[in-house]
Chains A and B, each alone.
Chain A
């Protein structure tokens, strides 16, 4: 079983609030990711990291930011939440398997912005 943890599991906040979604993994993986998923839709990559002090934006334009100060920790921050940010946010880390990555997902944060 993957050891990757996300908190909080559910979050309901008002428009304009600053929030940070936490993600930690204990597997020593270098690579970590944030995905956004709406019901019945694809997972969209919003941020990823190759390792400490390395972060990149993904395919989906996002108003969030991330940081990677420690290998095990990859928090995502929204400076000013809006209703359009309402979604499921999934954190993942990966182990290299050949030329590709095997992803392990956290349990997700369901964010609702009122």
Chain B
């Protein structure tokens, strides 16, 4: 089992819809969780971080964390074509301050 698992996609949603991206992780004691966005041919950039169970909202983005079930998700409301990118989930494993990355989920928002 990979330490951080994501469905590679692609996930295709129409413009204006809610895109839901999911991530599961293997280390039950993980404390820090991140979502990075990576446009094709570009480097990753951090868009959300979450540390506590529940929801964290930032504009059109909502991160959801459920430590008991060991999953973290990212919701993108009112999806735009400019949101089309690969979304990388990253988790701090086994007390390390360096995050472990998942493979990423490709999101396509079509007009």
- Residues of chain A whose beta carbon lies under 8 Å from any beta carbon of chain B: 2, 33, 40-43, 45, 48, 90, 96-108
Contacts and interface: CB of A to CB of B under 8 A. Distances in A.
Contacts of B4: 42
A106 B42 CA distance: 9
A98 B51 contact: yes
Contacts of A104: 46
B32 A41 contact: no
A42 B103 contact: yes
Interface string B21-58: 00000000001101010000011111001010000000
Interface of B: 4, 8, 31-32, 34, 36, 42-46, 49, 51, 88, 92, 97-99, 101-104
Nearest to B6: A42
A99 to B, nearest CB: 6
Contact of A107 (B42, B46, B104): B42
Contact of B103 (A41, A100, A102, A107): A41
Given A98-B51, A99-B92, A99-B97, A90 B46 contact: no
Contact of B99 (A40, A100, A106, A107): A100
